[in-house]
Structure 1
C-alpha cells in the first residue's frame, strides 16, 4: 500500500471569473468509488471546457468534483473495490469527470488507459479529452470513412490537430481552417491536404474550389452560429455537419436551411461530459484497440505548445483565451 497524505494542493476557482481566480489551495484527497482509481497526478491538460467552467458557464455534472480539470496522467495509488484492471503503480491517463487540477484525482477505471508506449506524463495527459472527443464525433457521429473528405475548423487547436492526424491516418482527405499564415503552415505540417486562412479567405468558396465544386463529406465545427450556413454549403450530397462547441455563439438566425433537404444532410453534435461511464468506456476501448497502436508507432500524437506548473494555471488559461497557441497547453504537477 502507498502511504497517502491527508491533504493535497489543488487549484481553486472560487466563485468564478477571469483567470486570476485560479489560485492554489489545500483540500482533502478524493476517495475512489468502487469503479474508480485514484491517480497521483503528474500532468494535466488545459481545455476550453476548463475555461468555461472557471467563468461559470459550464458547471460540473451532479456528483462530479467541483475542481476544474478533465484529463490527467499519473500513477495509480489506490483502486476501488470493483476496479479490476489497474493496480497500484500503473502509469495511466484518464478522462476525468472533473478534479484534475490537483495533486490527486479520481477517474472511473473504464475511462482510464495505459500510457502509450514511449510516452511521458505530459504527452499522455494531452490525449484523453481531445482523442475521446474526436473519436466519438468525427468517426462516431460523423461516420468519417476511408476515402472521404473532411473540413476541420480550428485546425491548430488540440481538437483540430487530433482530428487532422486521425482523419489522415484513417485514409481521409483533410482540409482545415486557421486564422493566420503561420497557423496555416502548421496545419500543413500536421498532415492536412490544404489549409484555409479564414480571416483572409471565404472557407466555403475555398472548399468548393478544392473539391471541384463537390464539397466535403464531413465538417467538424467548434465555432457554431457564424459558420452554420457556410458549413451547409461546404457539404456534398449526404454530408454530415458535426458540431462540438459554440465558440462564436449558438443562435444561428437567418440561415438558409434548404441545403439540409436538397442535399440530404445530417446535422449532429455532442458533448462528452454528460455521457455515462459506460459510453465513455466504450470510446476508451475503441481508442486503445484502434488508435493507441498508432500513437506508439508515431503515426499520430499530441503537439504540446506550452507547459506550466500547476500553480500557474492562471497563466495557462490566459494563453488558452488568447488563442495564440498551436496544439495543447499542459500543467505539470510535483
Structure 2
C-alpha cells in the first residue's frame, strides 16, 4: 500500500513556496515533479523514514529526521530521471567513434557529489583520451567525455557537507561533463563566482589558472623577457598572452595562417609567426636581437618540437603542456646542454597545491572586470560533440568551444 509523503517546497525569501503530496511504497524508486510556474530554486523536505529514493541511488538507512533535497523550479523537470543523455567513448577511435546514448544516471559515493551539468568546454585532453594518446589522467574505457564542466550540485554522498546542495560549481579532471549528470569529488570542486554565468564559470577554473601558473610558476616570467606561445589562438594561448603581457613580457605567438594571426592579435601579442614555416626560430632570434626566447610554451609537441631548442635563449625554459601533434622525435641533448636550457613538464594541479590557489582572487577580479578575457567563440549542442572533436583536431577552432548540456537554466 503506497505511503503518502508530503513534500514541503521552500523558495527563496520573498518568493512563493508550495507543497505537494506524492506516494511511494518504499520499495519502488520515485521522483517529485515540480510545476514550472514556481520561481527560483529551493529545497524539498521529507521525513527520512518515508523518503522516496531517486532512481539509481543507493538505499539510505531509515531514521528520524528531515532530509533536504534540492529542486530546480526553472526547469519544470523531474527531480531525477532514471537515465540521461551522454557522449560515450566505448573504445579508442576517431571523433566518429563517440556515441550519444542513454545511460543510467550515476550515483555519488563517499566523498562525491552529483552535478547537473550546464556546460562542458572542449579540452585537448578530451580528444587525447578518446584516441588513447595519453597514459596520464586517462579515465579508462568506456567513459563519458567532458574533462571539465560547470553545473549545480543536486546530491551529496556520504561524508560530504549537505550545504553543497544547490551550489554552482566547476569541476575539472574528473570527466563525465558530456552527460546531463556527472559525479565529482567534493574536494576538487571550485565555486562559480556569483558574478560569472555558467559559460564563464565552466572555463575560468582551467585555462585561466593554467595560464597564470605557466607565466608565474613554471615560467617565472620577468619584465623584459620574451615568451613564445605555440597555439596562440587557443584558449590557453590567449590567456597566457594576456597574463604574460601583464607581467611585462614581449609575447610572440605561433599560429597556423593569417586568419588565426589576425584574430589572436587582438589579445595583445606583440608578434605573430606561422609555425608551419621552419624559419620561425630564426624569426624569433631576429626579433630578440639574436638572443632567442626566454620561455617557450608548447602544447603541440609534434615533429617540429626540436625547433624549440633552436629558438630558445641560453638559460631559457621550454615548457610542455600537451602533445596535440603526437610525441616529438628525440631532442638534440647537446643543444640543450650547450645552452643550459630547462625542459619542463606541466600540470596545473601541482602548482595550485603549492600556492593553495591564492591566485584565484586575482583571476576572478580580472575576468569579472574585463581586464582579462576568455574568448568563448562557439557553443555547440551535445550531439555536435563528435563534430567539435574533429574540428579541434583539424585546427579549425578559435578560442574556447563549449558543449551546452543543461545550459544557464540548470
Task: Name the count of aligned residue pairs.
Answer: 329
Separation (CA, whole Å) in 1 of partners of 2:289 and 2:275:
19
Deviation by residue 1:251-285 (Cα, 9 ceiling, x = unmatched): 424x433332232211111346xx68xx7656772
Match of 2:396 among 324, 327, 330: 324
The match for 1:210 is 287
Unaligned runs of 5+ in 2: 1-68, 71-78
Deviation by residue 1:86-124 (Cα, 9 ceiling, x = unmatched): 622222222132111101112233432222454222222
Q: Relative contact order (C-alpha < 8 Å, sep 6+): which is higher?
A: 1
Partner-residue secondary structure (3-state), 1:286: coil
Partner-residue secondary structure (3-state), 1:160: helix
Separation (CA, whole Å) in 1 of partners of 2:110 and 2:155:
11
Match of 2:92 among 16, 22, 35: 16
CA contact (8 A) 1:32 1:106 kept: yes
CA contact (8 A) 1:10 1:103 kept: yes
Q: TM-score by structure 2 length? A: 0.72
For the pair 1:233 / 2:233, whether they are aligned, the reply is: no
CA contact (8 A) 1:136 1:283 kept: no
Match of 1:70 among 147, 151, 155: 147
Q: TM-score by structure 1 length? A: 0.87
CA contact (8 A) 1:220 1:243 kept: yes
What displacement does 1:62 show?
A: 6.2
Deviation by residue 1:50-87 (Cα, 9 ceiling, x = unmatched): 11222233465468982111110111212344445962
The match for 1:222 is 299
Unaligned runs of 5+ in 1: none
Separation (CA, whole Å) in 2 of partners of 1:102 and 1:21:
16
Bigger Cα displacement from structure 2, 184-193 vs 140-149: 140-149
Which structure has more helix as a fraction of its residues?
1
Separation (CA, whole Å) in 1 of partners of 2:368 and 2:355:
18
CA contact (8 A) 1:225 1:248 kept: yes
The CA RMSD measured in Å over matched residues stands at 2.7
Select the structure of larger CA radius of gyration. 2
Summarize the alignment of residues 145-160 of structure 1 with structure 2, pairs less than 5 Å apart. Answer: 145-160=222-237
